[in-house]
Amino acid sequence: MFSIAKASHLSKRLRVVGSETDADPFTRNVLTMRETIRTTITDRVLTAALRAGLAGGLLAVANPARAQSAPIDRIAWLAGCWEQRGPDRLTMETWMPPFGGAMIGASRTVIGGALREFEHIRITTDSGRLVYTAIPSGQRETKFPYKDASDTMVVFENLAHDFPQRVIYRKRGADSVIARIEGPGPNSTVRGTNFPFRRASCTERPVPPPPPDTAVVDAELSPDGQQLLVVKVVGQNFDIYAANPDGTNFRKLTDHANVDYQPAWSPDGRTIAFASVRNGHQEIYSMRADGSGVTALTNGTNHSSEPDWSPDGKQIVFRSERGGRPYIFTMNADGSNQKQLGADSAVGTSPTWTPDGRRITFASNRTRQTEVWTMNPDGTGAMKLTTTPTMHSGGPRYSPDGKSMVFWSTRDGNSEVYVMDADGGNVRNLTKHAATDTPAGWTPDGRYILFRSTRDRAPGDIYKVRPDGSDVTRVTTTQVPPR
């Protein structure tokens, strides 16, 4: 086979001085032979080059993968094992390399040595487009079609899903990936969470995180005073427990990988209403006193939380952001007949019924500072009960006889537990402590006020105090959660 370089070298060897017109016959014969050879060489070189070009083109047509890589190959950087470590949890995500037009993956989260959640994930090719499919903790699968991609980022989007609506992976160097989920937030905002991952070994057993510390954030005694409902926070997980009134013998009522909190006893003690983020946003659920029979009472695309029962047990008042702002709503105990109370007069949080059921009291920042307000059950007749010129007050809860009200306030520069008469008079500070203190409610006999405090442990525990500020007693002592 001739090459262009060889053809050039041979041409140089046959070059002679002069032209055919003034050369002798011998020289003319040599020149004629030279032209014949040069033409032959050129033809063979061009033919070889043409054949090579045609062959390359035919190969490219026969094997398109050689001309352009498959879409999934652009995100081959995602392949491998990745981990995210927190003070009490370890999340691992693993992806197989692209093969057969797909990448198969899985993830799991371990808290204190126990598996809390897992997910099966895959990226496949459908009609030339990538599709991300997630099956979290055994739930139904959700597909997120490809939206955008580069050599360092890929975005999948499903606007019909509640939350998340977008799944994003970004490459940050050879050993770092940031995963992110996004979806709608309050007031037409976008809320999202980042998960920074570092590359990890795919074969070595990971070192588990230490057992997490716990916090207690909610507490309410049953109407008969025999069971204490508390919410224990273990890492980033919130679950509802029942315990003895003295804080012993914890029994878990909810066991979900997400947040269950704000429990409220029904007046007959048979049902518990609570808020949960198990479906991606806050909704209100009910369950039996033993934790069975979980039923969704609200189901929307906005947040609903802070349930409180009417004294007769027929209605629940709650907070909802379905109007873009936190409004006060009521509904029947089975979730039917949901309605907003008034218009702007019902903007607020922490709603609670008066013991006689004639009014609803709540917190609102409609006058710059957050204050305690009260109104009729239809949203009319709003009236402010507290005046906090420079700071805030909220979280009202009535005594069983309806004569007094406990609430929190930062009017003295620190969150403290206060009590006042039902009409807003005779305000007094009960806790007077440098720690953060917030009220949880009253005991059914009205002899004590339950409150949460960080005075002995930063995460917080439940305490009780008499309405005159005396006899402060610690109720819960939680460190490592029960298995």
> Is residue 236 situated within a structural domain?
yes
Same domain, residue pair 122 and 54? no
Same domain, residue pair 196 and 238? no
Same domain, residue pair 398 and 444? yes
> Is residue 249 situated within a structural domain?
yes
Q: What is the pLDDT of residues 377-411, one digit of tens each?
A: 998 999 999 998 888 999 999 999 999 999 999 99
Question: Would you place residue 357 in the very low, low, confident or very high pLDDT band (cuts 50, 70, 90)?
Answer: very high
> Which domain does 30 fall in, by range?
4-67
> Among 141, 167, 200, which residue terminates a domain?
200
CATH (domain of 167):
2.40.128.20
Question: Would you place residue 113 in the very low, low, confident or very high pLDDT band (cuts 50, 70, 90)?
Answer: confident
Preceding amide of 439 cis, omega within 30: no
Same domain, residue pair 457 and 316? yes
Other beta carbons within 10 angstroms of residue 223's beta carbon come to 16
What pLDDT does 210 receive?
66
> Is residue 209 situated within a structural domain?
no
What pLDDT does 343 receive?
65
Q: What is the pLDDT of residues 240-286, one digit of tens each?
A: 999 999 888 989 999 887 899 999 999 999 999 999 998 878 999 99
Tell me: pLDDT of 481 over 70.
no
Same domain, residue pair 122 and 51? no
User: For residue 99, what is the DSSP state?
Assistant: B
User: For residue 482, what is the DSSP state?
Assistant: P
User: For residue 48, what is the DSSP state?
Assistant: H
Other beta carbons within 10 angstroms of residue 96's beta carbon come to 16
pTM over 0.75: no
CATH (domain of 361):
2.120.10.30
* Separation CA 221–CA 199 (nearest Å): 47
Q: Which residue has the higher pLDDT, 414 or 347?
A: 414
> Among 51, 67, 83, which residue terminates a domain?
67
Sequence-separated (6 or more) residues with CB below 8 Å from residue 172 = 178
> Is residue 274 situated within a structural domain?
yes
Q: Are the C-beta atoms of residues 1 and 48 closer than 8 Å to each other? A: yes
Task: Tell me what the mean pLDDT of segment 282-310 comes to.
Answer: 94
> Among 144, 167, 200, which residue terminates a domain?
200
